Every structure is written in structure tokens, then in C-alpha cells.
């Protein structure tokens, strides 16, 4: 039995959720997201709350019940407030800046890295060593942040590279003489 699936998704003011068959569409101030439910779970609206119930008592239906309730909750929260990830750049000469629709990164390579910003994502650089990725789709925000981090992951000896703001780098001791 899913503990997550037992609780309904609260629909806040300013967000409209429409169900047509097995498709949920959430619209809010941050945009519009669509979620297609599988055949094993059944979504329903009741008094401003979105309920997700399993169709039968099969193992697969119970597995997907909580998953799709979480996905629906993330869609509603995303169009209402949005999601963000913050990245930090550490290293001498390492920096980031926005040029039009591209994020330009200088990460110690012989060339600059031009990263085109995908649709539905807003990237902000408050300083040369900070990057904020913001959007309504939680999965897209996380994958864009992970892609930016993958250009130069933090190394364990000096801590140079691109890391998440809350990430702790486990440091290693250098060579001994």
C-alpha cells in the first residue's frame, strides 16, 4: 500500500487542473504542464483536490500509485511556485555568464562551453561563480543542472569544478613526501 498515494494533491489558488481521460493538465503562473497517467492508476478531482487511486490490487498498480501521485504533485507545485537548483563554480579563472539564449562557461579548458538554454528553463547568473536554474518542470530543472555540472564535476583534491550549492565535497589528502 502506498503511503504517498493515500494523500490527495492540494490544488492551490491560481492553479487550474483539468482531467480529460487519463491526461492531467495543470496551468498556473509559471506555465502549463501535462501528465499522462498509465492504465493502472485512475485520477479523479473532488472538491479542489486531485486523488490518484489504483485500478485494481495488482503489484504493478500499487507500485505506480505513489509514483504518479508524486508526479502529479510535482506538476501542480511546479506551475504554482516552480523549482530551482543553484550551482557554484570554484576554481581560478572559472566563470559563467549569459549571452542571449546561451550560457557561456569558462572552466579551465582551452575553449569556452556554449550551453543553449532549453525552452521552459530560466538561467540566471547573479555573479560569475553562481548559476541558478529555474523552471516549472522538476525533471527538466534537475537534468539541466546535472548537465551543467557534468562539464567540470568537482575534483576531490582542491574542490575545483561545478557543484550544487548544498553539495559537500569529500576532500582527499594530496601526495606525501
Q: Cα separations (Å) of 142 from 111, 114, 146, 148?
A: 25, 19, 6, 10
The pLDDT value recorded for residue 1 is 60
Fold classification of 83-164 is Outer Surface Protein A; domain 3 (3.90.930)
| CA-based nearest residue to 116, from 141, 99, 140, 136 | 99
**What does the alpha-carbon distance between residue 45 and residue 61 come to, in Å, rounded to a whole number?**
19
User: What superfamily would CATH give domain 3-80?
Assistant: Ribosomal protein L6 (3.90.930.12)
Sorting pLDDT into bands at 50, 70 and 90, what band is 3?
confident
- Checking if the pLDDT of 2 tops 80, the result is no
Give the Cβ contact number of residue 37 at 10 Å. Answer: 18
**What does the alpha-carbon distance between residue 138 and residue 83 come to, in Å, rounded to a whole number?**
6
Q: Cα separations (Å) of 58 from 39, 62, 63, 65, 163?
A: 12, 6, 9, 11, 42
The pTM score is: 0.89
Structure letter (DSSP) for residue 37: P
- Checking if the pLDDT of 157 tops 80, the result is yes
- Checking if the pLDDT of 152 tops 70, the result is yes
pLDDT tens-digit readout, 93-150: 999 999 999 999 999 999 999 999 999 999 999 999 999 999 999 999 999 999 999 9
CATH 3.90.930.12 domain span(s) along the chain: 3-80, 83-164
Amino acid at each position: 500500500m502506498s503511503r504517498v498515494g493515500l494523500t490527495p494533491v492540494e490544488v492551490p489558488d491560481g492553479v487550474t487542473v483539468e482531467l480529460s481521460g487519463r491526461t492531467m493538465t495543470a496551468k498556473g503562473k509559471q506555465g502549463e504542464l501535462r501528465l499522462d497517467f498509465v492504465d493502472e492508476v485512475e485520477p479523479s478531482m473532488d472538491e479542489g483536490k486531485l486523488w490518484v487511486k489504483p485500478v485494481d490490487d495488482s503489484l504493478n498498480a500499487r507500485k505506480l500509485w505513489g509514483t504518479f501521485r508524486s508526479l502529479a504533485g510535482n506538476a501542480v507545485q511546479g506551475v504554482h511556485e516552480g523549482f530551482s537548483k543553484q550551482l557554484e563554480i570554484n576554481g581560478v579563472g572559472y566563470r559563467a555568464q549569459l549571452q542571449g539564449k546561451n550560457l557561456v562557461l569558462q572552466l579551465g579548458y582551452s575553449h569556452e562551453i556554449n550551453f543553449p538554454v532549453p525552452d521552459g528553463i530560466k538561467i540566471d547568473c547573479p555573479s560569475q561563480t553562481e548559476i541558478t536554474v529555474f523552471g516549472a518542470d522538476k525533471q527538466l530543472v534537475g537534468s539541466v543542472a546535472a548537465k551543467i555540472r557534468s562539464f567540470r564535476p568537482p575534483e576531490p583534491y582542491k574542490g575545483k569544478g561545478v557543484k550544487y550549492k548544498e553539495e559537500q565535497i569529500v576532500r582527499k589528502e594530496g601526495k606525501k613526501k
